[in-house]
Amino acid sequence: MAIPKRSLQGEWGGPFAFVFALTGAAIGLGNLWAFPALVTEHGGGAFLLAYGGFLVLMVLPLWLAEIALGRSVRRTLPDGIYRMATSQGQSGLWTGVGWLAVTMAGLLLVLQVMVGGALGAWLQAVAVDRSPVVDAVTTTRVFASLWAEPERWLLWHTLMVGGACLVVGQGLVLGTQRVMRGLVPAAFVLLAALVAWATQWGSLAPAWERVFDVRFESLGWDGVQAAGEYALFSTVVALGIATVYGAALSDRWPVLSSAGAALALDLLFAVLAALLVSILLLPGGGGDGMSGPVLMLHVLPETMLGLPGGREATLALALLLLIVVFTTVIALMQVVVGAVVEQGRVERIRATALVGGVAWLTGVLALVATTWWLNAGTGEAGLFTAVAGFAWVAIPAVALLILAFTGWCVPAEVLRGALRLREDWRYDFWMPMLRYVAPLILLALLARVSGALPL
C-alpha cells in the first residue's frame, strides 16, 4: 500500500514543527496543578520512574499507532481507519472508533474553552486589580462574579474560541505551525523563569530532593496506578490528535524520535512545574499535597505575592495557564475541523466557523445551565461531571481499540513504511509493545477505572 504524499490538512515544515505541535497538545493544566502533588505524595523519583515507564510502554506505542494510521493514508482518525479497514477487507464498523475519539475531542474542546474563558477573566482581574494580595476571598470573588455577572467570562470565552478559529482556519502551516512554534517555547521560558525567580526566595536543594529523591516505600500500588492513569489521561491519547498531526508529517522525517522528543518535553514541563511548587511551598509548609485550581489560583499566587516581584510572577503564572489551555484548544479543534473537512467536503474556513460556533454556543448554554444548577442549590456543574465520567471510561477503551486495529489489522509493511521502522530490530522491538504490552496495561487500567478491578 503506497503512502499518499500529502494530507488534506497540509504538511509540517519540518520535524521540529511536529514536535512542538504534539508537545503543545500534551502539556496542559494537569502538568501544572496535578502532577506536582502526585510526585511529592507518591515517592518523588520513584513516581517519576513509574510515570516514565508508562510513557514508554503505553503512551509511546499509542502515539505511534495513531501516527501510523494518519501517515499511512494522510487522513484524520475516522477516515483513516475506514480507508485502512476497507482496503484490507476489514469491517467498516471500525470507523466508529475514530468517531468516538472525535466526539471526545469535541466535548473536551467545549470544556477547555470554558476553562480558558475563566482563566482569562482571572488573568484580567490579576492584571487590573491593584490589590496587594490574591487570597482565598479574592479568588472566590473573581470566580463567583463569573456566575453572577458573566460578561467578563463571555468576553474571554469568545476570544478563546475566536483565536483558535483564526489559527486552525489558516491550516497547519500558516496557522497551527506558526503559533505552536511561538507559544510552546514561550510556555517553557515562562515556567523556567518562574523556577529561576522562585529559587531566589526559596531553597532549591530540599525541593530538588522532594521531587527527585527515590522513595519506593511511598510509591506503593496506589502510586503505580496514579502514574498509569495520569500518563493515560494527560497525554491526549485516543483523541485523534496524533493522527491529524502525523498525517501532515512528511515521509522524510522520523517518527519514533519525534514522538519521543514530544513525550520528553511533556515530562520536562511537568517536572519544572513540580519544582516550582515545591520551591515556593516547602519553606512555609503550606499547600502540602494540594492540587487542582485551588493550588494554581489561590495557594501559589498568595505565596508568590508575598515575595519581591510577586505580582509580575503571578501575571506570568496566569499567562502560562492561559497558554497551555490555548495550545490544547487548538489541537482539539484541529481534530474536529479535520474530520468535518474530510467527511463534509467543505472548505476549511467554513468547517472551522461551524465547529467554533458550536463550541461557543455550547459553552454559553453550559454556563447558563451551570448558573441555574448553582442557584437551585443542586451542587456541581453537570456538564463537567458528565464529560469527565464519560472520558474516564471512553479514553482507555478507544486507546485499546486503536492498538488492536493498528497492531492486528494494518499490514506489517504499511507500519514499517509509516513509522520508518526499516531495521528489523526496531520493528521487532516495537511491535510486541504495540500488540501486547500496551494493550495489557490498558486492559488493567480500563478494568480499574470501570470498577472491575477494585485494587
In 55-84, which positions are buried (b, 16+ CB within 10 angstroms) versus exposed (e)?
Answer: bebbbbbbbbbbbbbbbbbbbbbbbbbbbb
Per-residue pLDDT at 147: 62
Give the CATH number for residue 388. 1.10.4160
- Is residue 298 included in any domain, yes or no? yes
Range ranked top by mean pLDDT from 180-189, 369-378, 406-415: 180-189
Q: What is the pLDDT of residues 272-314, one digit of tens each?
A: 999 999 999 876 544 556 778 888 888 888 888 888 988 899 8
- Is residue 87 included in any domain, yes or no? yes
- Is residue 316 included in any domain, yes or no? yes
Radius of gyration of the chain (CA): 22
Q: What is the pLDDT of residues 341-371, one digit of tens each?
A: 998 778 999 999 999 999 999 999 887 776 6
Q: What is the pLDDT of residues 16-53, one digit of tens each?
A: 999 999 999 999 999 999 999 999 999 999 999 999 99
Nearest to 325 by CA among 125, 144, 106, 164: 164
Cell numbers found for residue 435 = 500488540
- Is residue 205 included in any domain, yes or no? yes
Task: Give the Å distances, CA to CA, from 230 to 37, 313, 409.
Answer: 12, 28, 29
Per-residue pLDDT at 132: 47
- Is residue 6 included in any domain, yes or no? no
- Is residue 148 included in any domain, yes or no? yes
Per-residue pLDDT at 129: 61
Residue range(s) defining the domain that contains residue 247: 15-449
- Is residue 3 included in any domain, yes or no? no
Average pLDDT over residues 396-422: 90
Q: What is the pLDDT of residues 186-245, one digit of tens each?
A: 999 999 999 999 999 888 899 999 999 999 999 988 999 999 999 999 999 999 999 999
Q: What is the pLDDT of residues 119-173, one digit of tens each?
A: 888 888 777 765 544 555 566 666 666 666 678 888 999 999 999 999 999 988 8
pLDDT band, residue 450 (cuts 50/70/90): low
- Is residue 445 included in any domain, yes or no? yes
Per-residue pLDDT at 453: 55
Domain tally for the chain?
Answer: 1
Q: What is the pLDDT of residues 54-64, one digit of tens each?
A: 999 999 999 99
Phi and psi torsions of 311, nearest 5°:
-65, -45
